[in-house]
Amino acid sequence: MTEVQTTTSRERRNAVRLADRFEPLEMPELEYTDAVARETEPLYQKVKDVIPAIEWPVMAPYVKAINDLKKQRNAVILAHNYQTPEIFHCVADIVGDSLQLAQQAARADADIIVQCGVHFMAETSKLLNPDKLVLIPDMQAGCSLAASITGADVRLLRERHPGVPVVTYVNTSAEVKAESDICCTSSNAIQVVESFGKDTVLCIPDEYLAKYVATKTDVRILTWKGHCEVHERFTADELLAYKEANPGLEIIAHPECPPEVITVADFTGSTSGMIGYVRDNKPAKALLVTECSMASNIAADLPGVDFIRPCNLCPHMKRITLPKILDSLVELKEEVTVDPLVADRARLAVERMVNLKS
């Protein structure tokens, strides 16, 4: 299990904590009554094709309690495309890829942001909303890419490549963002790399994203050896075998996949780019080469598409569950803080990306 890269305890003591400014609340009743069944029925209709009816009586009391508490607390729930369908369709206010979540976090006017995603996403929300209480339902929800590089590594890279701009993937700690010139996500990496007008750029830490970007630009890309533990498991042979067994199958890949996987894909893009491709093209059969909950989330909206699912789960994303979201709203935990020593520089790198004109 990779460790979440976050601030040290000394630095965390110095960061301003906001949770104490809110009133404690009682844990609501969690019974599946007729009233709960009636109230949550329209939400169940959205997910009925991907959540068996037998599971709904367990989920529905949490869904109702979370939606009630959100109003009471003036909280907004941001959920990444990899969250499970009951979170994505039934309690989230805003869903999307990393860039969309960062943009929406910047516009949030709630008092509390609950980030259903991984730690770097919650940290990014905090950077863009320093005066709001940002909560993550499980502080251990990390990311193998974020864990692959430290701020000290970036400083060494700068020494080794003087004058070369540093673009860091948003899947990094605030400490790493603070050492970079600008952030990128998988949906804007090419534009960000080209924004410098330079012939060489460091694009770190995802080796495969960097290699993908290098195939789309004349800029020379230097990178790092970080990998996503979910996407690196896919192989071209496995995908070709699915293609052979399913005539007409379209393969849609995320750029965190190894280059040989991207070579056999019909389309490559960010999680929202992948969703957009399936919505626009409605292939009869589709295989999303990414975290497995995303196919369930779109399948709920697109019953006409047959999703072939090699199920690779992100263990970090899957730490977020309805009971933990409810705890988060009741007990105001876990509060995400950013080391004041790095926050301003990290924010600048994220804001440069968010403000980049397309």
Applying CB under 6 A, which residues contact ligand 13P?
A: 81, 97-98, 171, 185-186, 228, 254, 256, 270-271
**CA 165 to chain centroid:** 25
Q: Is 129 in contact with 154 (CB distance < 8 Å)?
A: no
Q: How far is the CB of 274 from ligand 13P (least distance, A)?
A: 8
Q: How far is the CB of 232 from ligand SF4 (least distance, A)?
A: 9
The single residue among 76, 145, 213, 251 that binds ligand SF4, judged by CB under 6 A, is: 145
34, 177, 224 from 191: Cα distances, Å: 52, 18, 19
Nearer to ligand SF4, 140 or 246 (CB): 140
12, 122, 129 from 6: Cα distances, Å: 9, 11, 17
Q: Which does 90 bind (CB under 5 to 8 A by kind): ligand 13P, ligand SF4, none?
A: none
The verdict on 228 binding ligand SF4 (CB under 6 A) reads: yes
Q: Is 173 in contact with 126 (CB distance < 8 Å)?
A: no
Nearer to ligand 13P, 81 or 129 (CB): 81
Q: Which does 98 bind (CB under 5 to 8 A by kind): ligand 13P, ligand SF4, none?
A: ligand 13P
Instruction: Show the tokens assigned to 27.
Output: 């844990």
Q: Cβ of 5: how many Cβ atoms within 10 Å? A: 21
Q: What is the per-residue binding string for ligand SF4 in 285-304, x denoting contact by CB under 6 A?
A: ------x-------------
The sheet with strand 220-222 has its strands ordered as 182-184, 166-169, 200-204, 220-222
The sheet with strand 250-253 has its strands ordered as 267-268, 250-253, 285-289, 306-307
Q: Which does 144 bind (CB under 5 to 8 A by kind): ligand SF4, ligand 13P, none?
A: ligand SF4
Nearer to ligand 13P, 64 or 254 (CB): 254
The sheet with strand 75-80 has its strands ordered as 94-96, 75-80, 112-116, 133-135
Q: For the purposes of burial, counting CB atoms within 10 Å of the CB of 184, is it exposed (0-12), middle (13-18) or buried (19 or more)?
A: buried
Nearer to ligand 13P, 18 or 253 (CB): 253
Q: How far is the CB of 221 from ligand 13P (least distance, A)?
A: 18
Q: Tell me the number of residues near ligand SF4 by CB under 6 A.
A: 13
Q: What is the per-residue binding string for ligand SF4 in 118-137, x denoting contact by CB under 6 A?
A: x-------------------
Nearer to ligand 13P, 292 or 300 (CB): 292
Q: Is 338 in contact with 7 (CB distance < 8 Å)?
A: yes
Kindly state the DSSP code that residue 206 receives in the 8-state scheme: B
Q: Which does 347 bind (CB under 5 to 8 A by kind): ligand SF4, ligand 13P, none?
A: none
- Contact set for ligand SF4, span 306-345 (CB under 6 A): 314, 316-317
Residue numbers at the binding site for ligand SF4 (CB under 6 A) = 118, 143-145, 171, 228-230, 256, 291, 314, 316-317
